[in-house]
C-alpha cells in the first residue's frame, strides 16, 4: 500500500508509515518507535530509534524533521501530541489511538456542531458538561456495553468559522482516567 495521511514528527525526524500501520512506543523509557505495516503475509516491523534512525522500504520512511523532544501526530488538518500509553493505528479518520481497557481516542472534522448533546447516542447518559479555559467544550457520558460500565468524553476543539474538531475518547471503567488524561494531554489541556 501507499503512504498515509498521518505521520509522526519530533526528535529531529519525520516518520511516514505505509498503510495499514501501527506506531507504538518501544518502551516507556525510550523515544524509539516500533512501526508495524500490516500485510496479508504477516506484519513487517521496523524499530526507529532517534539516535540512529533508518527507514525500512514498505514499512516506514524516515526524513529530517523538527527537533522538539516529543512525538507529534501530524495530519493535513491538525497536529496533536502523541500521548503516552496509546498506540497510533491507521484508520480512515485519519487515525485512532488505542490504549489499555479498550480505551480509544479518535478525531473527526472540522465540522459545525451547534449542539454537542446531539452527539450523545441512545442509551448514553450525560454525566458532565463543562467549558475549559481554552474554549474547548466537553460533554461526558456513561453507558453500559456488554454488561460493563463505559465512559465517553466528547471534546469540541474550536477552529475557524465556528467549526470544531471533535475528539472522542472512550473506555471501559478501569481505563477512564487514562483515556481522559491522554486526550487532555494531547490537546495541551492537562
Q: What's the CA gap between 156 and 166, in Å, rounded?
A: 5
Do 64 and 52 share a structural domain? yes
Do 65 and 35 share a structural domain? yes
Q: Which residue has the cell 478501569?
A: 174
| pLDDT of the residue at 55 | 94
The residues pairing with 158 across neighbouring beta strands, listed in sequence order, are: 164
Do 122 and 72 share a structural domain? no
Do 158 and 91 share a structural domain? no
Q: Which residue has the cell 447518559?
A: 125
How many residues can be counted in the chain? 190
Do 107 and 91 share a structural domain? no
Q: Which three cell numbers stand for residue 99?
A: 490504549
Contact predicate 97/83, CB 8 Å: yes
For residue 128, is the peptide bond before it cis, meaning its omega torsion is within 30 degrees of 0?
no
Q: What's the CA gap between 19 and 29, in Å, rounded?
A: 27
Q: Which residue has the cell 453500559?
A: 144
Tell me the H-state helices in the chain.
Answer: 176-186
Q: What's the CA gap between 161 and 181, in Å, rounded?
A: 28
Contact predicate 154/166, CB 8 Å: yes
pLDDT at 1 over 60: no
- Domain boundary residue, one of 97, 113, 142: 97
41-86: per-residue pLDDT in tens? 999 999 999 999 999 999 999 999 999 999 999 988 788 999 999 9
Do 153 and 169 share a structural domain? yes
Q: What is the CA radius of gyration of the chain?
A: 17
Do 55 and 34 share a structural domain? yes
Q: Which three cell numbers stand for residue 13?
A: 525526524
Do 165 and 142 share a structural domain? yes
CATH of the domain at 153: 3.40.1000.10
103-133: per-residue pLDDT in tens? 999 988 888 998 888 899 999 999 999 999 8
Do 85 and 16 share a structural domain? yes
Q: What's the CA gap between 83 and 42, in Å, rounded?
A: 27
Provide the residue range defining the domain that includes 60.
Answer: 1-97
Do 88 and 4 share a structural domain? yes
Please state the domain count of the chain: 2
The contacts of residue 170 (CB under 8 Å, 6+ apart) are 103, 104, 150, 151, 152, 153, 179
pLDDT at 173 over 80: yes
Amino acid at each position: 500500500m501507499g503512504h498515509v495521511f498521518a505521520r509522526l514528527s519530533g526528535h529531529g525526524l519525520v516518520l511516514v508509515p505505509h498503510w495499514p500501520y501501527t506506531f507504538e512506543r518501544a518502551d516507556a523509557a525510550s523515544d524509539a518507535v516500533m512501526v508495524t505495516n500490516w500485510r496479508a503475509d504477516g506484519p513487517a516491523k521496523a524499530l526507529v530509534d532517534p539516535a540512529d534512525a533508518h527507514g525500512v522500504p514498505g514499512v516506514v520512511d524516515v526524513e529530517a524533521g523538527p527537533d522538539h523532544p516529543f512525538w507529534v501526530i501530524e495530519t493535513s488538518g491538525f497536529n496533536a501530541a502523541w500521548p503516552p500509553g496509546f498506540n497510533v493505528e491507521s484508520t480512515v479518520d485519519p487515525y485512532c489511538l488505542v490504549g489499555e481497557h479498550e480505551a480509544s481516542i479518535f478525531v473527526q472534522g472540522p465540522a459545525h456542531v451547534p449542539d454537542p448533546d446531539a452527539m450523545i447516542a441512545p442509551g448514553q447518559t450525560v454525566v458532565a458538561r463543562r467549558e475549559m479555559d481554552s474554549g474547548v467544550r466537553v460533554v461526558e457520558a456513561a453507558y453500559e456495553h456488554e454488561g460493563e460500565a463505559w465512559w465517553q468524553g466528547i471534546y469540541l476543539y474550536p477552529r475557524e468559522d465556528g467549526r470544531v474538531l471533535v475528539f472522542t475518547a472512550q473506555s471501559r471503567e478501569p481505563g477512564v482516567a487514562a483515556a481522559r488524561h491522554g486526550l487532555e494531554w494531547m490537546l495541551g489541556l492537562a
